[in-house]
Amino acid sequence: MDSLVGFVGKNYVLMAGDTNAGRSIMRLKDDFDKLVQIDSHKILAKSGEIGDGNQFCNLIIRNVSLYRIRNETELTTKSVAHYTRRQLATAIRKNPYSVNLLLGGYDKKDQKGSLYYLDYLGSSKKINYGAHGYAALFVGSILDRFWKEDLDFEDGLELMKKCLREVEKRLIIGTRCFLIKMINSDGISVVEKVMINSEKKNEIEEEN
């Protein structure tokens, strides 16, 4: 089951997703990137059915590109969130996409990052921090306690690792490998591919 975590910091958005792709008890792929780039400053983190996720994200990416080519300007994160929500809402009334999303983006105009929580029922909410999947059960309370407004990057990364450590520790299904990405004014960058092994106490190995 997928884990997605995201939160907003000082002029950046940090997002992480596990890199497992599986089918029932089998792990098909352990380097699966769930944080999909929509345009230069937005990431759609997808969880749920893999096929639905691919199809839906493709649709959003292509329509956002079309808008950019037509109007010679990029959409704001808020607009993309609203558009995405509307697509999900119309879909569930016919053939639902079984996809839950976190949309993170940086807007040059406001010079701020923002994060949106969207789910397959067509709900959408602007949030400061959130998660999807089993991670949401554990990570919610950690972020409630430790998230502050305007966290700088090092503190944010430490907080993210704290969350991922907890996911690895408590989930009975092995989710050890996570990919962390950051969005800031320079665009999207991969921060780390993290492999967590909680048997070695509090030790985190970096995998590049």
Partner 1 sequence: MSYDRAITVFSPDGHLIQVEYALEAVKKGTTAVGVKGKEVLVLGVEKKSTAKLQDPRTVRKIVQIDDHICMTFAGLTADSRILINKARFECQSYKYYYEDPIGIEYITRYIAKTQQKYTQSVGVRPFGVSTLIVGYDSKGFPKLYQTDPSGNFSSWKASCIGRSEKPVKEFLEKNYVDEMDEEQTVRLTIQSLVEVVESGEKNIDIAIMRKNKPIEFLGRTRIAEIVKEFEEEKKRKEEED
Q: Could you report how far apart the first and last alpha carbons of the chain are, in Å?
A: 24
Rounded least distance, CB 109 to partner 1, Å: 20
CA 28 to chain centre: 21
Rounded least distance, CB 4 to partner 1, Å: 23
Binding site for partner 1 (CB under 8 A): 58-59, 62-63, 65-66, 69-70, 72
Cβ(68)–Cβ(74) under 8 Å? Answer: yes
How many of the other CB atoms lie within 10 Å of CB of 187?
13
Judged by CB, which is closer to partner 1: 59, or 91?
59
Rounded least distance, CB 169 to partner 1, Å: 38
List phi, psi (to 5°) of 203.
-105, 135
Rounded least distance, CB 69 to partner 1, Å: 5
Judged by CB, which is closer to partner 1: 56, or 134?
56
Judged by CB, which is closer to partner 1: 8, or 50?
50
Cβ(138)–Cβ(170) under 8 Å? Answer: yes
Judged by CB, which is closer to partner 1: 58, or 141?
58
Strand 21-23 vs strand 129-133: parallel, antiparallel, or unpaired?
unpaired
